Amino acid sequence: MGGKLKSLLLFIVEIAVVTGVLFFTRGKLVASHSHEVSNYMPMLIDIAFLSLFASLGGRLAKSLKIAPMAGKIIMGIIAGPAVLGVVDPYAHGVELARLAGVLFILFEAGLHFDMELLKKNVWIATLIAFVGVLVPLISFALLGHYLINLPWVPAIFLGGVFTATSVGLSVEALKRAGKLETDIGNKIVGAAVIDDVLGVIILTILAKLSATEEVSGGLNPFVMLAIGVVVFMIATYALWNWGIAHKIATYLNNRYAHNSTGIFTRFFFSMLILGGALAAVIGLEPVLGAFGMGVVLSKVDDEIKHNAWHKIEGYMHIFVGGFLVSIGTMLPRAALIELKVWFWAVLFMMVGFLGKYVTRYLLKNKNDGKLVGLAMTIRGEVGLVFVAVALANNALDGTMAAAALLAVILVTVVGAIVFEKEVMRQAQIESVKS
């Protein structure tokens, strides 16, 4: 007992030291008369300290015996406006870390994504995605309209918050359990990616509707969105099928490598950013572009791919940890102290969890079905984007927005903990049998 108390006190002291240093340093940087110091250094210090908070979150998770990703999200709640208020969730550095983290996660998922395996799983992955979107969307829309008395568009917005699955968090858990490149891992990632594409489409449509445009003027964005999705899917498959990435890598190897993998590291990083940028240009979420580019580059020679990614991965952990912490920072203090918010948040969390978990019954194998159902319950970045867009368009009032945000974080933390425990349990059983 004494050891645990000592460890807890040391942990509190560490948080206090990190928080104090960040608060003091950032304040001095912002007050500087130098343009570079006052504008860019605060971004860098935010990213650096997000990674430190991620390490503290990892230690917290180990002490509580919960999933590391859940510990980092909880650490974000502590560091953010809800508790200490030392990290601003909308500061440029925090937003940059959040975007970069999820880009890295989705890019890695694409690199390890087996397109040949997806061809075998495409129908079940699509079915899982559609059920996982429609059940929460319809159930929350009905709940919002008939129980909370919201107009239809805000009610559907509320449903949209709980449609998308966090591909990044699912991938992180699958990777730790060694199941990312397995058949079930492919089904989960495939379903989650299709799920997110559908979520982005719903989000865009709702944003257009809430903008109260004329019908004739609102058709063009919908057409452009549909074209963008089709272009994304066709381009990703075509570039993968033609082996374009391998041909470029071969050219770079012959012309620039000279016994060094540096050119490939730069090539991979550049393609990651380019993929996200191109997706944004055609009206899709950058994370989908990062995933698509990862799929395209998955055909690069395995040795080149391994060496290049090994170097990138060291930097990736900084941003991935920052991304997880930043999710927790988005919880406002009001959400922790208002009972009405907690009531709706807990109700939303339960409905949101069950709305996705029903996908487990789409698979015959019970163990695989349980993994799929739990993986789909994890929300995350896309759900938070829905809340932000709903607020920007005045679709949800303060109470409903806070409740939805709290529910997304709760279901993400609970889903992450339960899913990681289950995936690790099954992995251990399989290792014993083998």
pLDDT of residue 221: 64
Torsion of CA 260, 265, 266, 269, to 10 degrees: 180
pLDDT digits (tens, 9 = 90+) for 339-396: 898 999 999 999 999 999 999 999 988 888 999 999 898 876 667 667 766 766 677 8
Mean pLDDT across the chain: 83
Confidence of residue 215 (pLDDT cuts 50, 70, 90): very low
Q: Measuring CA to CA, which residue among 309, 292, 293 is closest to residue 301?
A: 309
What's the whole-model pTM score?
A: 0.76
* Structural domains of the chain ordered from first start: 114-313+333-433 (1.20.1530.20)
Note the pLDDT tens digit of each residue in 241-292: 998 988 888 888 888 866 677 888 888 999 999 999 998 888 777 878 888 8
Q: Which of 31-40, 148-157, 178-187 has the lowest mean pLDDT?
A: 178-187
pLDDT of residue 382: 63
What mean pLDDT is predicted for residues 72-99?
90
Helix then strand then coil, in percent of the chain rounded to 5, is: 85, 0, 15
Q: Count Cβ atoms below 10 Å from residue 147 Cβ, excluding itself.
A: 11
Handedness of CA 119, 124, 130, 136 (dihedral sign): negative
User: Which of 56-60, 78-82, 137-141, 382-386 bottoms out in mean pLDDT, i.e. has the lowest?
Assistant: 382-386
Residue 395 corresponds to which tokens in the numbers above?
A: 């679709």
Confidence of residue 423 (pLDDT cuts 50, 70, 90): confident
Q: Which residue has the tokens 């002490």?
A: 63
Hey, what are 262's tokens? 């540096």
Is the pLDDT higher at 369 or at 203? Answer: 369
Confidence of residue 211 (pLDDT cuts 50, 70, 90): low
